[in-house]
Amino acid sequence: MPAGHQLHLRLYDSSGLIQFSYRGQTLANDQPVIVTGEWNTLFCSVSRSGLYGVEVSLKDQLGRVQTKKLMIRVASAQRPKAHLSWRADERDPGGRRYYFNASGSVQPYGKILSYRYDIAGQIVTSAADQLQYIFHQKGSYPVHFFVVDDLGQHSDTVYHLIDVL
């Protein structure tokens, strides 16, 4: 976009839930903004999920106006959901090597960044959804597990009791 264009925002939403900002400054409805060629990004934030209609008009230096209607769909940032399964290594004669699989954990609106285990009091944090763990002796071991997403949200903690025979 060449420098000198003016961008006019008109919001269909009269509740005031949509906020636009340009170059770090919050914009008001119908506020003209000089858009430069090297910086043409607008940021939008909404305080509540829903479907919002926005009309954006671009007026050039000759007074010509181009109008676009945008629909903004906002989904709430749901917490991730943790899922953990495990199995003993059948090739391990002592039966103490276990494989944990957290690939069933989900965050539909983002990305899971870390997998956190508390296995019998030992804390293990991993960026991978697979973990191999060796128990040193027979017994029943509590396992607590949760995931953390890219917004820093934690899932509920999943609890299992594993019997190592």
Fold equal for 5-74 and 85-164? yes
Is 65 in contact with 59 (CB distance < 8 Å)?
yes
Could you tell me which CATH number the domain at 5-74 has? 2.60.40.2410
For the stretch 94-124, pLDDT in tens is 879 999 999 999 998 788 999 999 999 999 9
So what's the architecture of 85-164 in CATH? Sandwich (2.60)
Confidence label for 3 from pLDDT (cuts 50, 70 and 90): very low
Rounded Cα distance between 97 and 95, Å, is 6
Rounded Cα distance between 67 and 51, Å, is 20
For the stretch 28-78, pLDDT in tens is 777 777 766 666 677 777 767 777 777 777 777 677 887 888 787 776 678
Cut 0.75: pTM above it: no
Terminal Cα distance for the chain, rounded: 69
- For the chain, the structural domain boundaries read 5-74, 85-164
